[in-house]
Structure 1
Amino acid sequence: MLRIEELKPNLTVTGIIPNAVVRILAVETMGESCSVVYRSPDGQLGDRMVFRTDEAGLSLAEAERPWAFTASGDDFKLGLEAYRISLAHLFDPMMAVHASDVEPLPHQLTAVYESMLPMQPLRFVLADDPGAGKTVMAGLLIRELNMRADAQRVLIVAPGGLVEQWHDELFEKFGMSFTIFSREHIELAHSSNPFDEYDFLIARLDQLSRSDDLLEKLKASHWDLIVVDEAHKLSASFSGKDIKRTKRFQLGEQLRAITRHFLLMTATPHNGKEEDFRLFMSLLDPDRFGGKLKGDANSRVDVSDLMRRMVKEDLRRFDGSHLFPERWAYTVPYPLSGKEQELYDAVTDYVRNEMNKAERMVDGARRGSIGFALTSLQRRLASSPEAIYQSLTRRHKKLQDKLEKLDNPTLSEPGGARSLALPSSLVQALPENIWEADESLNSEDFENMEEKLADEASAAENRQELQAEITLL
């Protein structure tokens, strides 16, 4: 800071005019102020009054040569180190490994650096067995692409129960801070589209697939890399010549359209039906796998360029030893007592009989609910005699209540026969795929849903069938 009394001719000063260094030619002091005549860098003359309040912005300008080496050496070294790190991948092809808190195994390195990174753009299914460390592979890929400036915006889509695990592992092992998407982000978004405001985001699979509003917002965004965990949930199937697309599959098609790199991760890519597998692979390449396969429907397609699958028996450490011990699977039989066998046979016959009735139903949603409920009874049968006793007792009471509503018009719902159906509130709460409800719902919601279905879901379609089932129970 310069005081007014220190201003004199031939000084080079900053603060007289904005963002420029001037040379003072003359100074006339006037008490608490002074009149200054100066020459600006472009040679123009000027003058202005300088007051005591201007002193804080005045300072001497140091004359420096254009290419002088008089700057701070520490600042220069810091800038040079930052530039070196930005180019490190050119000299260290596995920079993400050295910049992360992981010790990758051979199959993880080959997946990232041999199978996925060379693909531009990336369209790939990582289908290694459970326990192979697919999250570590995805983290290395994200880190490597980010350091190469090829993934500045990353979206991870995972089942609800896995988002916290993704968030923690990416931060602890790779130092990457992701945001878990929630409804609050919609309300707080300045642009009304939260997908444009976060570069590193983790979203729940069903939260996106079930909301048309979120899908529209997602459609308007663009990402460098999208990773989908448990990607086998993005399923579709053929119904005759038509394709039956689930909401999750439609989400997968939309994700493919808004990203440069697209990675699907699943330990079970194939459900045994070749046509369904082709539809799943169409998420990566609709031109190659779209449409129904002509000729032999069971003929397998070559997907070695788009998918890698390694089973546990093939996973090894660097010293060549097996990563997992050899597996031996066998059944251990045990005898039931006479009464246990009688209970087991009676419940099994009841479940089998009701299953056969459900299979003849046209309503696929109700058929699935009944099948799920009956399967729940079998699980409780295997749990303990008390568990199956309580379940059958509650079921008997619920079905008896349905029968009373049918017999009493004042208790029945409009239409009468609709009393045989599940309550509308329960139907609306059911997930799209009820057999995967344990993964899409938290444990408490899943138990409540399972209990209600086991109590109320029935294949009876009229009063006589309902009475017969109650008698059997």
Structure 2
Amino acid sequence: MSDFSPGQRWISDGETELGLGTILNVDPRSVTVLFGASQETRTYSNRQAPLTRVIFGNGDRLEAADGWHLTVDDSKEVAGLIIYLGEDDQGERRELPEARLADSMQFDQARDRLLSGQVDRNDWFDLRFRTLHHYHRVEQNPALGLSGPRIDLIPHQLYIADEVARRHAPRVLLADEVGLGKTIEAGLILHRLLLTGRAERALILVPASLTHQWLVELLRRFALDVTLLDEQQSLAHGETNPFESGQLVLASQDWLFANPERQAQAEACEWDLLIVDEAHHLDWHPEHSGPGYRCVERLAARVPGMLLLTATPEQMGLTSHFARLRLLDPDRYHSLERFREEEQHYVEVAEAIDALECLPQDADERVRVAAVIDEPDSLALLDTLADPQAGPEQHVTARDQLRDQLLDRHGTGRVMFRNSRRHVGGFPERCLHVSRLELPASYRRVLRRLERDEDYLDELLIETGLDHPDVLVYPDVMYRAQPHDPLNTEPWWQFDPRVTWLLERLADTGEDGFADGKVLLIAHDRETALGLAEGLRVLGGLHAPVFHEGLSLVERDRAAAAFADEDEGCQVLVCSEIGSEGRNFQFCRHLVMFDLPLHPDQLEQRIGRLDRIGQRHAIQIHVPVFADSPGERLLRWYREGMDAFSAPHGIGSEIYAAFGDALAESLLDAASLEDVITETRMLFEARQTERNAGRNRLLELNACRFDRAEAVIDAIRELDEDRALPRYLDQALDIFGVDSQELGRGIVHLQPGSHMLDGLPGLVQGEEGFSATYSRSRALARDDVQRLSWEHPLVREIMGRILDGAMGNTALALLKHPAIPGGRLMVELIFSTHCPAPRQLHLNRFLPPTAVRVLLDESGANLSGKVSFTGLSKALKKVRKATARDLIRSRHDQLRDLLDQGEAEAERELPSIVEAAQSRMRRELDSELSRLEALAHHNPAVREDELKAQREERAALDAAIDSTRLRLDAVRVIVTVGEDD
């Protein structure tokens, strides 16, 4: 007969989540167990039941079925059942039969699991310790939250993200020029706030045309799962609030601003961060405001953190710019007139900062600087800088400190960040190549009639459904829209000379040819792109994938990947206007504009697919135009009116708003075009002059502190080059059941194995998984390849499951060593600091879970300093679980004593850990708090609620760190065996 008796308590070795089981029935062949907490019944073979008897010892705290607790100090056995003796929480002596133990008792804690005979594999224990070690190290890295996203390491973007994400409930305006990465900056800030616990929910409002672009950017660059909400999705939620459907919600401004009911639902939710793109479209005047502005204003009053994005903060004038700042801080920016007065002061401050460079050589410049400062500390620095007797090092130090003070204390630098290309640098040269081609007869026939007959244009627009002036600029679209014309008997690409021109350039190996590199071709219309690809195939035998808005996300990825492949990829990728939005093709240097867009912003978006920081080559922009056509006149307006091809300037929308109608009328009238170009140039130069003076100069100086940016980049590179990550992840993937296949060039493909644990991000049984790389550069070149880092969702999920669960927190192993007799016992205990605190405090930057390792021999001697974890792990041998349970049972009392001794040894380490964390916290927060308090006396942009939150955070962190305790995280029993065993 077995040792089973009805009423005994056992646990399942293979299904510990079932909880505590009770023996219901025993016969010579089987045993039946009821797991009351999960209402499951299992029947096992009597001889091979995977069960472990639960026996508690002195000091254990037990829960009774009716809710009271007992601390055990003795036990007795009656008819095969254990009765525990001890005191309840009121100090009364009581007895608790094992049959009356609570079914819900779990054995997740290492001590309970070990003493109840539950042991895991040694490689699980090893992975758990290494996870704790790496988590401790990574959480303290100053680049946490910035190293994982798939981005280039661009100083100004990382500086802004680091500066803003450090603040309590940041409220700022991101106003970098076009192409400098405002979306990336906002994504970095959001990513860090989420990863550090300072934010949990965010609402992102963008123009309808940009919702897909934002969705793709957040997913591909930042691995953020965003809920895209529209009216159809909202209706699917019935009576419930649709804005509660996700932690991160992305919605169209056009949809939300037009729907008061949905606005009320959005305002009823708890958000930590509000992000508004293209914020200059929010309409406000002192007398009235538009529905969009009013909606954002109500949300801004409820949401602690806020990011406004615009490349053109003054596009609608100073009043519009004041309106944005008013959303961020209505107490600070309450008077438009006062704001106008402050604007006049910014020119003086900018000139004073420039004058610092002339001291001490030009003593007259001291007057210019002194005119804008009156603080004693600043005047003392100015005296040092103007003193010719001071040494060069003193001058440099004084200049840097005084410059920083002026930037901190004047202007809107704390609430607004604006970088320009001239300040950032590192952008490639743009080279424009224009090819004038003869207008084919089929196009010329229609254009000549349009020039002679004004009524014909109206007829054509009604007949084709096209917009004016699209019908003039895109002749192939106009041609396709007249199928009834008896002269239109062949596809447009068979006679259009632009197709022949393109084929000749693709085959040309000379300076004017494309044979030396990849070619991105963009056409305005999707049908034009599809027809062009067909023409290249039929006329030139050339395969060119088409990238357009009708493709699914996966199809676009495949087309982009085929284009990106250096060796076997296609030479040409044909894109429609909308299809290429948001994509990065900076590995390519030839851009062919098959036609020209009508809006300057769309022109810049096209060039922006290639013109990015990190582009290694000059960008070759090729534009084939028909001589004396509307397309050539549009080209002249771009070149001569606003230098649109040389560099982005961010005022294209304003210029188009001013001259778009006049331009449309002049496309058929060369004489009137001259006036449009002249007036456009005058407005362009005036706006450029305004933007280069005063506050913009201050903002450029303050928008990137390069020393700080380089420190962040160095910290990111430290994580990028961490060789421990591939080793760690290989071990973790093997244990979690994920198959990894090398694809070459540093790329691996991960897919679910046959026994993979459920719920891993990106890995679902029955699906193909994903390709990934550790290389930042490879991930940037391939949209279809994810980048593995310590911040990747898969890595974070694996680490979280290990640290938050019981996986690997017990083990038993054998050690064979010639110098150690067999039968000896050692215990390896891993303690971890435990410090409950709200996530938003981000305690881990000062005190992440910290491991304390204690290795004891059976006599209680501490061997931790003599035997390393790695060295010991390599010498250990695995043991069968049944044997492990027998060994634990036979050494039960000895193990209890060693566990108690180990806890006492670990406690000796705690004071130094707490003291070091307190020092780190005080050193960082006290200096920042002092700086902000001093700054608040000079710059009203430092909000009082920010100072209050900083003080409260410091006090809360001080109390949390002081309450730190140690708890046993994992324990491994090691039994020595002799040479003959």
- TM-score range (shorter-chain normalised) is 0.5 to 0.7
Instruction: For residue 208 of structure 1, give the secondary structure of its aligned residue in structure 2.
Output: helix
The question of whether the paired residues in 1 share the 8 Å contact of 2:208 and 2:254 is answered with yes
Task: Work out which of the residue numbers 228, 249, 255 in structure 2 matches 1:201.
Answer: 249
What is the 5 A alignment of 1:443-462? none
Tell me which residue corresponds to 2:471: 380
C-alpha separation in 2, matches of 1:45 and 1:296: 79
Instruction: Describe the shift of the 1:286–1:377 C-alpha distance in structure 2 as closer, same or farther (beyond 3 A).
Output: same
C-alpha separation in 2, matches of 1:376 and 1:155: 35
Instruction: For residue 242 of structure 1, give the secondary structure of its aligned residue in structure 2.
Output: coil
What is the 5 A alignment of 1:42-441? 42=88, 44-46=93-95, 78=128, 81=131, 85=135, 88=138, 91-114=140-163, 116-183=164-231, 186-187=234-235, 192-236=240-284, 238=285, 242-243=287-288, 245-290=289-334, 292-293=336-337, 302-316=411-425, 322-326=426-430, 343-344=450-451, 347=454, 376-384=467-475, 387=478
The question of whether the paired residues in 1 share the 8 Å contact of 2:87 and 2:94 is answered with no
Report the Cα offset of residue 314 of structure 1. 3.5
C-alpha separation in 1, matches of 2:444 and 2:134: 74
Identity of aligned pairs, percent?
21
Instruction: Describe the shift of the 1:273–1:338 C-alpha distance in structure 2 as closer, same or farther (beyond 3 A).
Output: farther
C-alpha separation in 2, matches of 1:206 and 1:58: 53
Tell me which residue corresponds to 1:39: 85
Instruction: For residue 327 of structure 2, give the secondary structure of its aligned residue in structure 1.
Output: coil
Report the Cα offset of residue 272 of structure 1. 4.7
C-alpha separation in 1, matches of 2:170 and 2:233: 29
Matched to 1:308, the amino acid is F
C-alpha separation in 2, matches of 1:177 and 1:149: 16
C-alpha separation in 1, matches of 2:105 and 2:325: 68
Q: Deviations over 1:188-212 (max 9, x none)?
A: 6598223345222211112211111
Q: Deviations over 1:162-193 (max 9, x none)?
A: 22222232222222212112346545659822
The Cα RMSD (Å) is: 5.3
Instruction: For residue 95 of structure 1, give the secondary structure of its aligned residue in structure 2.
Output: coil
C-alpha separation in 2, matches of 1:146 and 1:386: 47
C-alpha separation in 1, matches of 2:110 and 2:177: 67
Instruction: Describe the shift of the 1:268–1:12 C-alpha distance in structure 2 as closer, same or farther (beyond 3 A).
Output: closer
Matched to 2:272, the amino acid is D
C-alpha separation in 2, matches of 1:294 and 1:59: 65
Report the Cα offset of residue 329 of structure 1. 12
- Taking structure 1 as the reference length, the TM-score comes to 0.57
Q: Deviations over 1:392-429 (max 9, x none)?
A: xxxxxxxxxxxxxxxxxxxxxxxxxxxxxxxxxxxxxx
Report the Cα offset of residue 4 of structure 1. 0.9
Matched to 1:251, the amino acid is C
C-alpha separation in 1, matches of 2:7 and 2:264: 65
Q: Deviations over 1:30-57 (max 9, x none)?
A: xxxx8x7553553644476969xx9x99
Tell me which residue corresponds to 1:459: none
Tell me which residue corresponds to 2:509: none
Instruction: Describe the shift of the 1:86–1:234 C-alpha distance in structure 2 as closer, same or farther (beyond 3 A).
Output: farther
Matched to 1:148, the amino acid is T
C-alpha separation in 2, matches of 1:117 and 1:63: 37
C-alpha separation in 2, matches of 1:12 and 1:298: 74
* Greater RCO, CA 8 A, separation 6+: 2
The question of whether the paired residues in 2 share the 8 Å contact of 1:101 and 1:174 is answered with yes
Tell me which residue corresponds to 1:409: none
C-alpha separation in 2, matches of 1:227 and 1:104: 23
Structure 1 segments unaligned to the other structure (5+ residues): 317-321, 352-374, 392-435, 440-473
Report the Cα offset of residue 152 of structure 1. 1.6
C-alpha separation in 2, matches of 1:201 and 1:326: 38
Instruction: Describe the shift of the 1:262–1:329 C-alpha distance in structure 2 as closer, same or farther (beyond 3 A).
Output: farther
1:27 and 2:78 correspond? yes
C-alpha separation in 2, matches of 1:253 and 1:57: 50
The question of whether the paired residues in 2 share the 8 Å contact of 1:37 and 1:45 is answered with no
Tell me which residue corresponds to 1:3: 4
Structure 2 segments unaligned to the other structure (5+ residues): 10-54, 347-410, 459-465, 483-598, 603-981
Instruction: For residue 282 of structure 1, give the secondary structure of its aligned residue in structure 2.
Output: helix
Matched to 1:380, the amino acid is V
C-alpha separation in 1, matches of 2:171 and 2:151: 25
Report the Cα offset of residue 81 of structure 1. 4.2
Report the Cα offset of residue 339 of structure 1. 9.7
Instruction: For residue 158 of structure 2, give the secondary structure of its aligned residue in structure 1.
Output: helix
Report the Cα offset of residue 263 of structure 1. 0.7
Report the Cα offset of residue 94 of structure 1. 1.8
Instruction: For residue 295 of structure 2, give the secondary structure of its aligned residue in structure 1.
Output: helix
Report the Cα offset of residue 216 of structure 1. 1.0
C-alpha separation in 1, matches of 2:211 and 2:343: 37
Q: Deviations over 1:117-164 (max 9, x none)?
A: 354442211122222222221121112222332112122111223222
Instruction: For residue 4 of structure 1, give the secondary structure of its aligned residue in structure 2.
Output: coil
Instruction: Describe the shift of the 1:84–1:338 C-alpha distance in structure 2 as closer, same or farther (beyond 3 A).
Output: closer
C-alpha separation in 1, matches of 2:213 and 2:194: 21
